[in-house]
Amino acid sequence: MRKQLRKTESSLNGFTMLELLIVIAIIGVLMSLTFYVLNGVTEGAEKEATTTTIHKINRLLEQRIEAFDRAFKGSRRNEYVRKTVELLATATDGRFDYFRVHPEEAPPAIVILSRKAAFRSEFPQRMVELMLKPVDDANGNGMPDAVESKIAVPGARAYLIAADQASAAPTTGFEPSATEITNLVNARWSGGTCSAVIGGVSTTFTFSGNQQVTESSELLYYTLVAAGSFGSSSVDADQFSDREVVDTDDDGLPEFVDAWQQPLRFYRWPTRLIDPTAPNPFDPDFAAINDNTEVDLTPDGNESDGLREVTAIERTYASNLIRGLPAAPLAFAGLPAQRDMLLVDPDDPVGLLY
């Protein structure tokens, strides 16, 4: 009888299969909850980091804009007026010539246009806005000379030095030649290959070239870090971490990025959100209804025909951002083409400066 009792007691030790399955299920639920919580914490941290970067950039940008306003009201006003008059004047139209000599007497309308034109060039979001004259792109590579000399060239030099020092046979006191630097700048910007002597060996580099999606972010970085400050506090590149400034397309021009390493786009005016590719130079011919500043009523996805257009997907995107978006223009036989309101700047409706 006693032996039977001991046998019964020993058979009750351990867990049943059902109990083990329940424990495993509980552990699985706890692990999934932990993963969900940690993922939410990570995403929240990324959003917070991006918000912090945007606030930092916005504060510096506001300081620069305030400095621009002070400069325009002061010593730079006449210079801006004179440059704007040069844009408005033509070889056959001398109506504005007087104000080139006497910018202080310019009427309010020209002063307003001058401020707008100045703001566009001082806070650019497209490269062509820094190339209003041929001399602004002396080598014709499509990159403004100011951006090239202050950002691209120093960056190319640093790139080649870093490549040499990371090679199998680094050169003491290595200094790339001017030709190697220029070739690297052009290859990174336009796409293609270039060669340089790295570690004593001729090395070929290949790049895909500048991507338009990064352009406004690159120019925002240039504006804050390398361009004139109008007397406000200068912005040191060290104020931003390596996670906030990245050259995502490897074209030699760094961009401000979010926590997911996507460029933070800069839009100066709402119309540029929809139409980033206006003709350059923008020279409307008011005597012709089909010059290259008019809108294409049959958008084909490219602007090779010289007519600006708002594609279907751009209009859909705009409708999500702009309440009460005007309908697309319609074509009527025998009548001039209507301009798409998304391509019209309210402050410059006839396109003199747009």
Spatial separation of the C-alpha atoms in residues 186 and 179, rounded to whole Å: 11
> Considering the domain boundaries, does residue 122 fall inside one?
no
Structure-block tokens of residue 207 = 């790049």
Domain encompassing residue 153:
145-207
Beta-strand pair 245-246/255-256 = antiparallel
> Considering the domain boundaries, does residue 129 fall inside one?
no
Instruction: Give the residue among 172, 295, 187, 223 at the shortest CA–CA distance from 57.
Output: 223
Instruction: Give the residue among 193, 182, 195, 192 at the shortest CA–CA distance from 143.
Output: 182
Q: What is the pLDDT of residue 233?
A: 74
> Considering the domain boundaries, does residue 331 fall inside one?
yes
Count: domains in the chain: 2
Q: What is the pLDDT of residues 272-291, one digit of tens each?
A: 556 555 555 555 555 554 55
> Considering the domain boundaries, does residue 262 fall inside one?
no
3-class secondary-structure state, position 201: strand
> Considering the domain boundaries, does residue 344 fall inside one?
yes
Domain end (from 161, 189, 207): 207
Low-confidence ranges of the chain (pLDDT < 70): 1-15, 36-42, 89-93, 132, 134, 270-309, 331, 336-339, 345-354
Q: Judge whether 117 and 353 are in contact, CB under 8 Å.
A: yes
> Considering the domain boundaries, does residue 185 fall inside one?
yes
Helices 178-190 and 153-165 pack at an angle, to 10 degrees, of 110
3-class secondary-structure state, position 347: coil
Structure-block tokens of residue 326 = 């005007």
Q: Are 280 and 352 part of one and the same domain?
A: yes
Q: What is the pLDDT of residues 80-112, one digit of tens each?
A: 898 888 777 665 567 778 888 888 998 888 888
> Considering the domain boundaries, does residue 3 fall inside one?
no
Domain end (from 154, 176, 207): 207
Q: Judge whether 152 and 143 are in contact, CB under 8 Å.
A: yes
Instruction: Give the residue among 127, 117, 137 at the shortest CA–CA distance from 76.
Output: 117
pTM reported for the whole predicted model: 0.73
> Considering the domain boundaries, does residue 23 fall inside one?
no
What percent of the chain stands above pLDDT 70?
Answer: 75
N-to-C CA span, the chain:
105
Domain end (from 180, 207, 234): 207
Q: What is the pLDDT of residue 279?
A: 54
Q: Judge whether 195 and 204 are in contact, CB under 8 Å.
A: yes
